[in-house]
Chain A
């Protein structure tokens, strides 16, 4: 950071803390540790989340490469991995079944929680909320910092569990009891699950601290004129994501506490009538299904925690690079709200095959399929945003378009799965794996990539290498489709299988599996390209020379090229209009800070005459 901007940072810092942190005394330049490690600046914290997320994405991706090798190349000789993996590689050079289970478990846990929750929402909520609503920082910088360090601690605990003699948790990322409640039912159950649960508990604390901050900041710290219905869509998405997090994560916390008790204190919340390998356990009176209800009460909203921020950012990016307002701004907000509400009442569609009452199942079918309506609205609105636009295809825009495509392709298969009768066939098969990887795995990653490419100049004051970005995009979207589209053909194959070779019914997929595995490895290698581009560009990327390189309307582009702590050097700008005035009245864009002209009507305030918008604007051009 240049000396000049540092001074500003310091200057604004006094402003910031004058009101909020009475007991802090910040009248000196923060040292290295306060500035980069225990920083309370939302931008630094967001970068910490992003880089930690990238680390975990690499770990999680590597795990998937390992188990894809087992699935695609079961005969490959992996003896050379023995020095790293030890007894997890058999004498014949194969991954042992217990380790395979640990791999899929940790892959799921890491990607869902550490990468796509903390890495995605943590990064962009932190970075964009203050910048886009016009705030100097988060409501509580201290809690925000704690949020990151709790996340870090959760990661450390999870990482340690890899080095346990009995291995990390291996009972699936959902950690269903009794498998995960008993110490002797699997090796991962000996100690790995305890680490898993404690790590999750710490992670939940981190997530809560973060979410509380996001909500409070958005509600209370908007700049003058920033009405709720003038907020850019990413902010709406972050707000609702945080609301979902605040309401659903605590339920996982209670589920985890109960499971910890069952494991270590001899209680029977989830256990009943168990005879494990001839040992009649004394546990009585619990129900394994109870855990599933508690877990999925978080677990389903969790997929929206993952996808909503991506949706919000994609809406913004599509609009900016089409030079067109996002189509149906209010409809977008209401569909986000609808998804938020519905996300809490669909959880049992994960449990159609658990023997629960079929009538209750029917109710969940109805809610589940209703949730497809707001999703459909969003897709059509995105498409219409592109229609008659002036589209610049740079990497962020391509990733945003890729997101829409993947969200469509993965979302549609959800209509199969949400219908309980079809779910009888599809439950716990590779069809499910294909579905959720497309719709919330790869799609959310695309949202994240779009966000990183788009806001990288704001984050680091430099551009990422565009050509590498293009290669990264085309390689990744091709690989993603080539991995997960053919996977739908594996309807018959049950998931979480070490090998399908024991069954005649599951034969004939060896070559397909090999193809998918090859693609998975290629796609992983391609992501390293991104990682390289990311870190290289932080230090050596082309410098940003203009404040608003994309010609965007939102507030983050009114800050200095490398904003210090406090974001704006002078007063925070005032907001006078919604954030999507692109190509209006013959102007390429009108920033949010520009007051309405005398005869101009603000978007959303002119009744039902919107259809005539096109004509109006064309008249203005003339």
Chain B
């Protein structure tokens, strides 16, 4: 005999399924995400400027103090170059926010050098040129678009040669740098809305899963990031609760430490 609660659950499931299959004109007000019959695609990694845009709406941010355009060391390990490339592209978005043309131009050159270091320089050359030209004209919208194209082209080129893992490290590097700056800004002028921008548990889980599938990248920085994400997870995965200032400060310490590790030699 099937208990009543089972019937109830089945009924709710069927209703949700029917609702999801209903005509396009009227979308159902509620669906059961857990019972989605369709396969769910991986979480989409946002660009750093999506977060920066939301931050801007909370108040004036002194972006100049976050601009970083120093060349840094040259690495030979491809995973390290990929991580660094992600952070440098994120630095490009910061320089755009700060409207710092010189920094943008330096970053354009750096992006090209790093892309060459992992064998995808050819697909980046036109974008690097476009970034530098647009920075000269102070056309920030074009710089932003070209930075987005750069990241997309790098990742497409890597995926084409089945270097998806390196492509994921580019995204991770950008996310870490974006989170470092986000927490730095919110730490200085705390607001609940600012702290809420850290509420990205699915993204963090996505990166954790991806890193676990990279045992061949046996580098100290990769292990440090893996350990750090374990530390960060409970600080930002708070459900409906607010993220307190102490958590923002802690995430900032962790991401700053990782950021330093990414740009410096072991």
Pair from one complex: no
A residues with CB within 8 A of B: none
B residues with CB within 8 A of A: none
